[in-house]
Chains A and B, each alone.
Chain A
Amino acid sequence: MNTSFPIPMLHSTIRIMAPFLLAAIGGLFTELAGMLNIALEGLMLIGAFFSVVLSAATGSLFLGIALGIGASVVAAYVFGFISLNLRANIFITGLATNLFAEGITVVLAFQMFGNKGVIRFENLPRLPVLSIPALQRVPVIGDIFVGHNVLVYVSWLMVVIAAIIIYKTAFGLRVRGTGSNPAAVEAIGLSPRRYRMYAILISGFTCGLAGAILSLQMGAFVPGITSGRGWIALVAIYLGAKTPHGILIACIVFGLAESFSNYAQGAIDIPADFILAFPYIITVIAMIAYSIVRHYRLKGSEG
């Protein structure tokens, strides 16, 4: 067995899982606030488009990413406003957000670049890579965890921050209360609707960043670049039992699955479409396995 094979695979797992992690962490807030957030996919797509286009236009990665996140947050606000203030069904408005994102990114790309396919940005600034020479010399750990772009580390940081907000702050308690017992939140004079909106805006923020990672890593925008990652992130929330550390583990699994399929593509002769289908299949199986376990556990506790 060639020992050099798993290390690059694990290295790319860390890179691949970053967008999943960010989208799922944002989705955790909306989930805890009692909403099924299907819009993760569309919010990521908007973040991906605007951050790469605006990074190229302004020549500044920081500005581009900030504006890309801004666009995603605005979209999240519209999604939240229609769902909460106009009292629309949040599952339908989530679908609407995804369709809208698909439409607007292609329309704008066509109008700006005359092209509905892959748009490459030649003069795009590269994402800075974090290298810690001291750590890099540590075998295995150094090979796997060092040498990624900064946004990958930001995504891990976000998990920690999210965990602190959710479990250690009054705000986090109120968001959780909004989901588990909105009447209690109302009884202490707060508005559950407002906390739902905050949760949606947080998911807009993290999804915007997740999208930025996707397009900036590639240095290009591709229509539908998110290719179902928002949905997989949604499943990661469930599989992670709605906890930040659970989500981290679920995202490692999905990252591994995608990284493995990338390597399998080079090593074994499997058609690309099958490889692309692999994460979905893994996700469905994981979801069914999870519900089977839950089903029998519930049964056990009843009997």
Chain B
Amino acid sequence: MARRQLTNLLSSTTGLVLTIGIAFAIVILLILLLSKEPGTAIYYFFVGPFTKAYYFGNMLNQSIGLMFTGLGIAVAFKSSTFNLGGEGQAYSGALVATAICLALPNLPGIVGGAAAILGAILIGAFLAGLSGFFNMRWGTDQLISSFLISAAVILVVNFLVTGPLDDPKNSMLTTASIAEQYRFLKIFLPSKLDVSIFFAVAAAIGTYFFMQRTHWGYEMRMCGINRNFSRYAGINVAKYLVVPMAISGGFHGLAGAVSVMGTHYRCLKGVTTGLGWNGIAVALIAKNNPIAVIPAALFFAYLDAGAKAAMLHADVTFELAKIAQAVIFFLVTAQALYGFFKSRKKVAA
């Protein structure tokens, strides 16, 4: 038993190392092909995030949102439900949190802040829960409906941010700024890192215990392993098409709220772009384990921070991070790279 676990661990580690190695190799190759100063670009891509406290703090800050969205996806996948609407759920969470803060400019920070966060969680949970509901009721494909709803929601939020809620005093496409008392405490100046990183880590630990130690968590995992078996065992499987989706959406909404209240203090157009998609990759690297979401999110934030540093110091563009992330996405579920002995269950249907 112990030996099998060791083999599993070894083969999944070698797989991950191989995946990341290939992603890095492709980035290096692209830089060599495209950059006129490849040495500098490569140096800053890999080492940049550690060269200045400012970069390092921003990298940690970037990981906060990814931890929340990664947790959201991990819960959904672990229960065999599929949430592809993370982008729209996070964005609408950012908007709702901003709107609530702007509507209540004079409340004590903790009261209004709690209302804003709750609002963001609810809107995310509602949007994702909707896809879960359609699936439960009529068998509408969750995967596609969650994506389409999210795509429509993104455009509606764009309209609100650039239209009715646009701040005329600011030339950027953004809402007005939220009041001082709603802004999370900075803990690593001059970087943007704020106190919500502790919330994210706590949320990961909390989710782990929820999934492993509670009745709901147990039933959700059972549904994830085998929905038919769970039905015969007397679990209300219909409920668990909606609940994991709603939790997943709630986490995405929360990620949006945190990016506004911790980092940007307003809802810029596209403020949460990428959080949803990258959350999926983070969850996959973490093999849907909530604790492992923490290092996986840090790693993805590292790729972003590296690409940003390389853009500032050399002639390459930030989207290099996207390519590295896409390559990891490509390979992270490739069973041929992840050991041959294991009978891995499918991550997604």
Contact = CB atoms under 8 A, between A and B. Distances in A.
Interface residues of A, number: 45
Given A85-B336, A93-B330, A284 B148 contact: yes
B330 A82 contact: yes
B159 A274 contact: yes
Interface in B321-342: 321-323, 325-327, 329-337
Contacts of B327: 96, 100
B335 A88 contact: yes
B148 A235 contact: yes
Given A231-B148, A274-B156, A287-B140, A111 B134 contact: no
Q: For chain B, what secondary structure do more than half of its interface residues adopt (helix, strand, loop), or is it mixed?
A: helix
Contacts of B145: 284, 287-288
Nearest to A276: B155
Which of under 10, 10 to 19, 20 to 34, or 35 or more describes the interface residues of B? 35 or more
Contact of A273 (B84, B148, B159, B336): B159
A99 B324 CA distance: 10
A78 B144 CA distance: 23
Contacts of B336: 85-88
Interface string A267-303: 0000101101100110110011001101100000000
Contact of B155 (A82, A93, A111, A273): A273
Contact of B323 (A107, A110, A228): A107
Contacts of B134: 288, 291
A292 B320 CA distance: 43
Contacts of B349: 91
Interface in B151-167: 151-152, 155-156, 158-159, 162-163
Contact of A287 (B34, B144, B325): B144
A257 to B, nearest CB: 13
B234 interface: no
Interface in A138-164: none
B346 interface: yes
B144 A87 contact: no
A110 B316 CA distance: 8
A100 B326 contact: yes
Contacts of B138: 288, 291-292, 294-295
A21 to B, nearest CB: 19
Contact of A87 (B159, B280, B335): B335
B281 to A, nearest CB: 8
A95 interface: yes
Contacts of B148: 231, 235, 280, 283-284, 287
Interface in A77-109: 78, 82, 85-89, 91-93, 95-97, 99-100, 102-104, 106-108
A92 B277 CA distance: 10
A291 B131 CA distance: 12
B335 A273 contact: no
Interface string B307-320: 00000000011011
A234 interface: yes
A116 interface: yes
Contacts of B156: 273-274, 277
B24 interface: no
Contacts of B82: 91
A92 B346 CA distance: 11
Given A88-B332, A92-B332, A280-B152, 7 more contacts: A85-B336, A88-B330, A88-B335, A89-B346, A92-B329, A103-B322, A287-B141
30 contacts: A82-B330, A85-B336, A88-B334, A89-B346, A91-B82, A91-B348, A92-B329, A92-B348, A93-B333, A95-B329, A97-B330, A103-B322, A111-B316, A228-B151, A231-B148, A235-B144, A235-B148, A273-B159, A274-B155, A276-B155, A277-B156, A280-B148, A280-B149, A281-B152, A287-B140, A287-B145, A287-B148, A288-B138, A291-B138, A295-B137
Q: Which 6 A-B pairs have the closest CB atoms?
A: A103-B322, A96-B329, A100-B326, A273-B159, A88-B334, A86-B334
